[in-house]
Copies of this chain bind each other. A is one copy, B any other.
Amino acid sequence: MNAEIVAVGTELLLGQIANTNGAYLAQKLAGIGINVYYQTVVGDNPKRLEAVFKTAQNRSDLVILIGGLGPTKDDLTKQVVAHALGEDLVTDEDALAKITAFQEQSGRLNTPNNQLQALKLAHADTLPNATGFAVGDLYRDPDGADVVLLPGPPSEFTVMVDQQLMPRLMAKGTNQGVIFSKVMRFIGIGESELVTNLGDLIDAQTNPTIAPYAKVGEVTLRITATAKTQAEAEDKVNGMVEDVLERDRQYFYGYGDDNSLAQVVVHQLIDAQLTVTAAESLTAGEFQSTLGDVPGVSAVFPGGFVTYANEAKVSLLSIPQHIVDDFGVVSEETAVWMAQQAKLKLATDVAVSFTGVAGPDKLEGQPAGTVWIGIAFKDQPAEAHLYHFANGRAQIRRSSVLTGLDLIRQKLTTD
């Protein structure tokens, strides 16, 4: 099955934003064995969009259009595609009800243009929008390529791809049979090291295929097999999963695209009935906020401390002033004290602490990326570990948060 991606938007065409949606989707499609042969960007111009769409429908089996589903006048993808296909646009009642309910609740004006986002191609399946209002479409064309319409804002686009589009495409399978894939997630190992460990498996890959992907602070492998039956495809994938685990089990933390280290660790804590808190300096609340992303975390997370300035470390955590003065704020001793005191103050079973240099400037003569992470786990003596992260303020903080989660995971695994 050959797919083609058409991204719609003058802001893309003029280079004001890069086409990251196209890259995201192409990777996902490659992961389930759908080849992408062309990607096109076209502006908010109905004539040129229709010409591009017709060319795509003639040369590909699946045409995926991204963007132009919003409520404004320059959002015209649905209208153009409906015209080209000879389809009517009809209102999806669930989507309309969601828009109306939001407008009533928020007291915002019930402007008619907002309701345009509930329109869909008459004979398409609706792809619900979990994080926005514009619905997507999956249209099976009996005469030409199948057509998919997706919203442009990445926060809506990625969720719709992962939760709506990919399951439907995989359920349909390809001409060659059933596709099955599993995503394995790793923490604490770099992409190049993981790929080196698995070098012979990757060199020999045909079916299943192994696709590594580096994210901030973690690496995923997508293992994909095609076979005549679902059971056969699953067997192939699971065999490869075992081979991978044999080499890199200690870095593996879970399966799935929608999974995250925070989810895994929070559920481990819930299962073990252990409560957690944190004292955060350079991460400034990002660790706790990451815990807060996980529904149900309130069972194990009462709250915690953001101690950005030195005086807050002393006043909120009652750390002796001389510890900070003698050892410095970016030190093993301060990290250990922060974890210990946070655990004590909120009477939790586990506490993690973060102190270091987010950058761009040095602190206490230490370069950006120098981070001490402390952990106080049950009645074990608190400890702290030194890390050196890179690639700027945001990635230094993100890597710190993931490493703090991983310290808890390791303690729970060996406990």
Q: Which residues of A contact B (CB under 8 A)?
A: 10-20, 22-28, 30, 36-43, 45, 48, 52, 55, 70-74, 102, 105-109, 111, 113-114, 130-132, 153, 155, 181, 190-193, 195-196, 202-203, 211-216, 222, 224, 257, 278, 280-289, 291-293, 295, 297-298, 301-309, 311-313, 315-316, 345-346, 358-361, 369, 387-395, 397
Within the complex, which residue of B105, B211, B286 is in contact with A289, where a contact is CB–CB below 8 Å? B286
Evaluate contact between B39 and A41: CB separation under 8 angstroms.
yes
Chain B, residue nearest A10 (CB): B211
| Residues of chain B contacted by A301 (CB below 8 angstroms) | 284, 308-309
Evaluate contact between B309 and A302: CB separation under 8 angstroms.
yes
| Residues of chain B contacted by A224 (CB below 8 angstroms) | 14
What's the minimum C-beta distance from A201 to chain B, rounded to whole angstroms?
Answer: 12
How many identical subunits does the complex contain? 2
What's the minimum C-beta distance from A198 to chain B, rounded to whole angstroms?
Answer: 10
Within the complex, which residue of B111, B195, B305 is in contact with A113, where a contact is CB–CB below 8 Å? B195
Evaluate contact between A36 and B19: CB separation under 8 angstroms.
no
Within the complex, which residue of B17, B22, B282, B283 is in contact with A15, where a contact is CB–CB below 8 Å? B22
| Residues of chain B contacted by A315 (CB below 8 angstroms) | 345-346
Evaluate contact between A27 and B15: CB separation under 8 angstroms.
yes
Evaluate contact between A285 and B295: CB separation under 8 angstroms.
no
Evaluate contact between A15 and B24: CB separation under 8 angstroms.
yes
| Residues of chain B contacted by A392 (CB below 8 angstroms) | 130-131
Evaluate contact between A13 and B37: CB separation under 8 angstroms.
yes
Within the complex, which residue of B298, B389, B394 is in contact with A309, where a contact is CB–CB below 8 Å? B298
Docked complex Cα distance between A302 and B74 (Å): 45
Within the complex, which residue of B39, B55, B211, B288 is in contact with A74, where a contact is CB–CB below 8 Å? B211
| Residues of chain B contacted by A24 (CB below 8 angstroms) | 15
| Residues of chain B contacted by A106 (CB below 8 angstroms) | 387-390
Docked complex Cα distance between A74 and B316 (Å): 50
Docked complex Cα distance between A295 and B10 (Å): 32
**Can you show 14 pairs from A to B with CB atoms below 8 A apart?**
A13-B38, A17-B23, A38-B40, A38-B52, A40-B40, A71-B191, A105-B369, A106-B388, A108-B193, A282-B292, A284-B291, A295-B360, A302-B308, A316-B346
Closest 6 CB pairs of A and B: A284-B292, A285-B285, A15-B26, A303-B312, A285-B288, A15-B23
Known: A15-B22, A301-B309, A312-B302. A295 touches B393 (CB 8 A): yes
Q: List 5 other contacts, CB 8 Å, given A10-B211, A37-B42, A114-B192.
A: A15-B25, A72-B212, A285-B306, A286-B286, A297-B308
